[in-house]
């Protein structure tokens, strides 16, 4: 197994214990990216030199005992509707061809402040208006498990990149399923947090009252690490929630005793596969 196939939590522990370096992890990710991109087309822009520079700085911090967070030195991919200072942001559209933002989205700023290594900007349906990542000026992304199948969308590039080892974690955005659906299609973990938990400042809007930045990783613990880094109030976003940020890692593995889960009894989708329909619980047994 290559370094790029490991989850963020495992790699973080290896970095802390001196068993590997951010440079090695990043080189492993970039090598996998070069191998798989002709098939997956998960990225619109690859920031190879920037990533290696960030990795070297992370290694120096770790060697000197100044590690910023458990994510310091871990590669991250950023959906290409998040503004990134000095790196093009296209939203998968020729309309924004050549646009280079002068600032970082707050979520990008926070993930970089945590020490993550930016490997590039991921593919998406144009302006996030789709659910398959087929409708992009950069061409369609393809599912790494089966290139004949879609990745889901609109954060399909982020999901495909995590699933194929082209990044370790990723940021996406979710309006009506755009993190959760591609995570399911590509077999990774994805979460759309509660509205207001992550600042939307610097996210190119689709529907501002519904848009939310989310994250993708190989495990729930990986997503908890990212949430710990990017959540929190931001005065630049008037809808940002001014509530304390809990340690999401503490909730990982916690049982469901006493938790109430609502299941719409009349929920159905025309044309839904019978195998999927059979797995929709109706009703759920009580967890109390």
- Residues taking part in catalysis: 79, 154, 178
Rounded Cα gap, residues 44 and 215, in angstroms: 18
Residue ranges in the chain assigned as alpha helix (H): 8-16, 22-40, 48-63, 106-113, 156-164, 180-186, 220-230, 274-277
Q: Does the bond joining 21 to the residue before it have cis omega, within 30 degrees of 0?
A: no
> What stretches of 41-186 show up as alpha helix (H) in DSSP?
48-63, 106-113, 156-164, 180-186
Cα–Cα distances in angstroms (integers) from residue 185 to residues 106, 132, 159, 255, 258, in the given order = 28, 10, 8, 26, 30
Alpha carbon distance 183, 188 (integer Å)? 5
Residue 243's CB is within 10 A of a number of other CB atoms, namely: 12
Orientation angle between helical segments 220-230 and 106-113, nearest 10 degrees = 110
Preceding omega of 154 cis (within 30 degrees of 0): yes
Half-sphere exposure of 209 (CA within 13 A, CB side): 0
- Do 229 and 111 contact (CB within 8 A), yes or no? yes
Contacts with 12 (C-beta within 8 Å, 6 or more apart), sequence order: 70, 71, 73, 74, 225
Q: Which residue has the tokens 């490997």?
A: 119
């Amino acid at each position: 197994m290559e370094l790029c196939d490991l989850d963020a939590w495992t790699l973080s522990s290896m970095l802390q214990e001196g068993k590997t370096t951010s440079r090695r992890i990043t080189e492993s990710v970039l090598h996998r990216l070069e191998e798989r991109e002709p098939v997956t087309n998960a990225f619109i822009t690859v920031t190879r030199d920037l990533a290696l520079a960030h990795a070297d700085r992370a290694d120096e911090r770790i060697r000197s005992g100044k590690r910023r967070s458990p994510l310091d030195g871990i590669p991250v991919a950023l959906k290409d509707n998040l503004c990134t200072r000095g790196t093009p942001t296209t939203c998968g559209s020729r309309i924004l061809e050549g646009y280079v933002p002068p600032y970082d989205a707050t979520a990008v700023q926070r993930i970089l402040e945590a020490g993550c290594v930016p490997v590039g900007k991921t593919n998406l349906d144009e302006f996030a208006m789709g659910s398959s990542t087929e409708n992009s000026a950069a061409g369609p992304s393809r599912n790494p498990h089966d290139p004949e199948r879609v990745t889901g969308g609109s954060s399909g590039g982020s999901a495909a990149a995590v699933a194929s080892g082209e990044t370790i974690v990723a940021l996406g955005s979710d309006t009506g399923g755009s993190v959760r659906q591609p995570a399911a299609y590509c077999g990774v973990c994805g979460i759309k947090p509660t509205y207001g938990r992550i600042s939307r400042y610097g996210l190119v809007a689709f529907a501002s009252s519904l848009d939310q930045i989310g994250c993708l990783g190989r495990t729930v613990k990986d997503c908890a690490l990212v949430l710990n880094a990017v959540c929190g109030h931001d005065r630049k976003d008037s809808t940002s929630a001014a509530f304390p940020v809990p340690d999401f890692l503490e909730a990982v593995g916690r049982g469901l005793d006493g938790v109430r889960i609502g299941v719409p009894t009349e929920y159905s989708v025309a044309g839904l596969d019978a195998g999927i329909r059979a797995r929709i619980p109706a009703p759920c047994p009580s967890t109390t």
